[in-house]
Amino acid sequence: MNMNQHPANGGLSTEALSRATGLKPESIRVRLCRTGSYYGIKPRKLPNGRLLWPADSVDRLLSQKQEATA
């Protein structure tokens, strides 16, 4: 996961989050628009309009997903 982190501010782009979860970026954006978060994770909107997802929260979500499938 660390290779997908944005080095300057410790976050992931929507595209990096989609690669980590195996979903399409559009699916993540749809859930964000419908519920206000992606399974409890709220991104920060950058000045250029892109979303930055907190890497630590994404790591927790992915570890919970792995535990559930194990």
Tell me: the pLDDT tens digits for 9-64?
679 999 999 999 999 999 999 999 999 999 999 999 999 999 999 999 998 988 88
Cβ proximity of 24 and 18 under 8 Å: yes
pTM of the model: 0.78
Closest CA to 45 of 29, 56, 57: 29
Q: State residue 67's pLDDT score.
A: 78
Domain range list for the chain:
2-69
Between CA 49 and CA 58 the distance in angstroms is: 20
Q: State residue 9's pLDDT score.
A: 64
| The residue type at 12 | L
Best CATH choice for the domain 2-69 from the list 3.40.50.970, 3.40.50.261, 1.10.1660.10, 1.10.357.10: 1.10.1660.10
Q: State residue 48's pLDDT score.
A: 94
The yes-or-no verdict on residue 3 having pLDDT over 60 is no
